[in-house]
């Protein structure tokens, strides 16, 4: 990528990273009480189960990084896992700091890959592939959780409504992007030409190759890796019950986690704070879990998935912000 094309991407990257840093600082400061509560609750859990939970959370970042690596390798520009793992943490941080249904993290990831020498078109193609495969995995997990609730006799009307709304969102977002990519690019490019700030986003999107999505093995592997992220998180919830001396079936923990995730996704509250916890505890209680244990396990899960990555995410985002010109990928 020549200097003339690289400059807009670097400016966009600096702006995005700075915005995420500001958002992250505000998020941490405004929720210090919840972070302290998480640390206090963690002191009540068995240490060995907390270590298992930490290993499971590492698995979520590893799965995300592996999905990116597969797509980058298929596109002819492999990047090492050692490079992609920190970016997976930073992407999660960006998604949390600038709530935008994952768009902010995807935009950050594209800018970070571009800075490492990946062509903007390929970086955008990798992110499009990840987005489509992620929402496909969401639909599969949505169907699995509804099936579990139905077979257990706990499929309440509100849960079915949440599942249907979530399925609509999970279909609409990637579907709209693909339709725009296939049929609406001329109009989108015309808009970008009149609004210069959109060019660093729109031009790579227009040039992003669709060939990655035409590779069945790559798509299937990516869907499985994105589904494994949700399975790792659901397993973390199950482990938290064990850490507190409680018992719950794994399929019940999976259904409760997915129901909470769906509620938080379609809700209007950023990060699903409050809605995730309430729906998860409600679902666990439906399965007969003691209310206190269900609440504590849910809060511990949220601490591990939401608050624990914030400090390393802040540091990694700051490192990205201070980074210089693009360099070749290792």
Distance CA 176, CA 195 (A): 21
pLDDT in tens, 173-224: 788 777 777 766 666 656 555 555 555 556 666 667 788 888 999 999 999 9
CA-CA-CA-CA dihedral for 73, 188, 191, 107, to nearest 10: -30
Question: Tokens 């992609």 sit at which residue?
Answer: 84
The mean per-residue pLDDT over the stretch 158-181 comes to 84
Instruction: Let me know the angle formed at the C-alpha of 81 by 323 and 219, rounded to the nearest 5 degrees.
Output: 115
Q: Which residue has better confidence, 266 or 278? A: 278
Could you tell me the end-to-end alpha-carbon distance of the chain, in angstroms, rounded to an integer? 17
Q: Which residue has better confidence, 324 or 61? A: 61
Give the pLDDT confidence score for residue 63 in this predicted structure: 95
Question: pLDDT class for 58, splitting at 50, 70, 90?
Answer: very high
Give the pLDDT confidence score for residue 26 in this predicted structure: 47
The mean per-residue pLDDT over the stretch 56-65 comes to 93
Give the pLDDT confidence score for residue 293 in this predicted structure: 86
Distance CA 64, CA 278 (A): 27
pLDDT in tens, 91-150: 776 666 555 555 566 767 777 888 888 888 888 888 889 888 989 999 999 999 999 889
Cβ count near 24 (within 10 Å):
21
Q: Which residues are within 8 A (CB) of 300 and not within 5 positions of it... i.e. 6 or more apart? A: 38, 41, 42, 45, 53, 240, 243, 244
Distances from the Cα of 330 to the Cα of 70, 118, 126, 305, 327, angstroms:
15, 11, 18, 29, 9
Question: pLDDT class for 5, splitting at 50, 70, 90?
Answer: very low
Give the phi and the psi of residue 111 in degrees, each rounded to 5.
-65, -40
Mean pLDDT of the chain: 77
Q: Which residues are within 8 A (CB) of 158 and not within 5 positions of it... i.e. 6 or more apart? A: none
Q: Which residues are within 8 A (CB) of 193 and not within 5 positions of it... i.e. 6 or more apart? A: 199
pLDDT in tens, 7-37: 444 455 555 555 555 455 445 544 445 555 6
pTM for this structure? 0.80
Give the pLDDT confidence score for residue 65 in this predicted structure: 94
Give the pLDDT confidence score for residue 103 in this predicted structure: 59
Question: pLDDT class for 291, splitting at 50, 70, 90?
Answer: confident
CA-CA-CA-CA dihedral for 161, 162, 166, 169, to nearest 10: 60
Q: Which residue has better confidence, 267 or 214? A: 214
Greatest C-alpha distance within the chain: 61
Give the pLDDT confidence score for residue 39 in this predicted structure: 59
Question: pLDDT class for 60, splitting at 50, 70, 90?
Answer: very high
Instruction: Indicate whether 230 pLDDT > 90.
Output: yes
């Amino acid at each position: 990528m020549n200097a003339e094309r690289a400059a807009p991407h670097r400016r966009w990257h600096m702006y995005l990273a700075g915005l995420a840093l500001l958002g992250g600082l505000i998020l941490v400061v405004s929720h210090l009480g919840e972070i302290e509560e998480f640390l206090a609750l963690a002191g009540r859990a068995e240490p060995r189960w907390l270590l298992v939970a930490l290993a499971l959370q590492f698995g979520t970042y590893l799965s995300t990084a592996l999905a990116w690596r597969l797509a980058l390798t298929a596109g002819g520009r492999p990047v090492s896992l050692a490079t992609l793992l920190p970016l997976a943490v930073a992407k999660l941080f960006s998604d949390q700091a600038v709530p935008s249904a994952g768009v902010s993290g995807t935009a950050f990831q594209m800018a970070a890959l571009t800075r490492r020498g990946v062509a903007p078109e390929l970086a955008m193609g990798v992110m499009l592939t990840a987005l489509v495969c992620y929402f496909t995995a969401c639909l599969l997990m949505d169907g699995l959780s509804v099936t579990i609730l139905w077979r257990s006799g706990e499929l309440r009307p509100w849960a079915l409504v949440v599942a249907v709304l979530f399925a609509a969102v999970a279909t609409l977002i990637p579907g709209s992007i693909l339709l725009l990519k296939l049929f609406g690019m001329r109009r989108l490019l015309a808009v970008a030409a009149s609004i210069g700030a959109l060019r660093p986003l729109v031009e790579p999107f227009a040039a992003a190759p669709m060939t990655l999505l035409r590779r069945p093995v790559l798509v299937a592997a990516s869907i499985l890796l994105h589904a494994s992220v949700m399975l790792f998180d659901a397993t973390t919830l199950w482990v938290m019950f064990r850490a507190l001396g409680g018992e719950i079936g794994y399929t019940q923990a999976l259904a409760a986690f997915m129901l909470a995730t769906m509620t938080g996704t379609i809700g209007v509250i950023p990060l699903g704070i409050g809605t995730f916890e309430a729906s998860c505890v409600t679902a666990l209680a439906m399965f007969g879990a003691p209310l206190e244990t269900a609440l504590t396990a849910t809060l511990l899960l949220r601490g591990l998935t939401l608050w624990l990555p914030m400090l390393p995410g802040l540091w990694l985002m700051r490192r990205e912000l201070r980074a210089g010109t693009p360099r070749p990928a290792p």
